[in-house]
Amino acid sequence: MMVDGNSLTVEGVIRVARYGEKVEMDEKALEKVRKARETIEKILREGKPIYGVNTGFGELAKVKIDENEIKELQYNLIRSHSCGVGDALPEEVVRAMMLLRLNSLLKGYSGVREEVVEKLQQALNLRFYPYVPSQGSVGASGDLVPLAHIALALIGEGKAFYNGDLVEAHEAMEKIGMEPLKLEAKEGIALINGTQYMAAILSLAIYDAFNLLKNAQIAGVMSLEALKGTNSAFRQEISMARPHAGQIRISQNLMRLTRDSEIIEKYGNERVQDAYTLRCMPQVFGAMYDSLEYIKKILNVEINSATDNPLVFDNDVISCGNFHGEPLAIAIDLLNIVLTKMASFSERRIARLVDEKLSGLPPFLSSKPGLNSGMMILQYVAASLVSENKSMAYPASVDSIPTSANQEDYQSMGSIGARKLMQILRNAEKVIAIEYMVASQALEFINEKPSKATKIAYQMIRKEINSLKKDRAMYDDIEKIAYLVHNGNIVREVEKNVKLD
């Protein structure tokens, strides 16, 4: 994939970070990198002060650095900032961070040498996987701490993973044939001053969130049919009377997903209206879709932006605040809310399916209730996951704790929201997987044929897990269907026959 600083997409991030596609660098972008470097070296020869290049950092910006200590300053910066804690970030997140940092440097505003971007390219293409702890960023002076751990590994210090084992970074480099990066002036701060931790997690999560929303629609329609509901509330004229773009799109999807359903044809016409979690799917899913589109719009700008400090412009170097994570912090918090609501919406349909008083189906979808608990406890698990998500959905960006002796006195805390986002997304995927399982079991008790889309999803689920004839341990079943959800397997099969927007 060609990287040029301006045209990276979320889908491109996925291809490189998750699936290992190799990257190339655009020659015009490299020329901008060279030109900016010439400016840095010219200003250094003139002896002018440049923040973080021949001065200290943060509150220490007033301290002038001697010319013979400028290189040491960059190494000290990376070492001092490599103090993260917590679990290591997954490989796909670290790869996304490196790709996004490379793309930002290729815009030509950072003043690094060509060797720096070449080293990031090499690290990606050789699958070099630095050890990066997940905690320690406040998401404002860039994601300093996690990015510092990547830079630390690139200079041959710190740690990295090789074949699943955590080893010294220089050992991993030797095994893959990679030399450590030698830093020059400005390059340490350029490697760590950016929003790429937040942007990497959000890039992966927004891609998965769009996929999850499609899964939620398919699972919702399965539940609608299993509950013998009607699709009349999905009619286009209803959405045109309240023409939110997302609602219109989702109502069209739901109509396609319910097409040719014998269940709806037989029972749906008898229903005046269904419960909100069935009847209001266009409105609720539609609002979620609109929110996802907004988040992706913000992200598309961010991943093609220069987010370090200072920046180089036409023979001038200017200190600025492009590293501040506020745009991402708010977007991340919104995604956490959307995913929490998506899972909560699903859990209410699960609860309805297992409740004989609401479903008209056997208690807990067991053919011999009492002796068997059936799918009773699956709803407990869904409720637990939803409650956990609710506890994490409080916006991280409403908080701020000043740092660097109040020089950096307002933080975005978007990194906190990003850490929560990874867990909230995993929880939501499992809740949708449980709805698939419960709705598929409910369809076992209905003689009429479901829609074509539901039948495809049902068959995909049954390839992985059997219907529940008597009680069994279902923890593996949940993981199997959650895997289908995460990887988009059910969506892809359904979309071969039913187009989803």
Q: Which residues are catalytic?
A: 51
From the number of C-beta atoms within 10 Å of its C-beta (0-12, 13-18, 19+), residue 335 rates as buried
- The answer to whether 100 touches 303, Cβ cutoff 8 Å, is yes
Nearest of 314, 357, 53 to residue 188 by alpha carbon: 53
What is the dihedral angle through the alpha carbons of 351, 356, 361, 365, rounded to the nearest 10 degrees?
60
Nearest of 365, 500, 385 to residue 446 by alpha carbon: 365
Q: What is the 3-state secondary structure (H, E, C) of 249-308?
A: HHHHHHHHHCCCCHHHHHHHHHCCCCCHHHHCHHHHHHHHHHHHHHHHHHHHHHCCCCCC
Residues 6+ apart with CB under 8 A from 409: 402
Nearest of 262, 216, 155 to residue 430 by alpha carbon: 216
Consecutive H or E run containing 211: helix 196-226
Identify each DSSP E strand in 121-249 by its residue range.
129-130, 133-135, 159-162, 165-168
Query: In the beta sheet, which residues pair with residue 142?
Result: 140
Q: Which residue has the tokens 């909230």?
A: 424
Rounded (5°) CA angle 88-91-92? 125
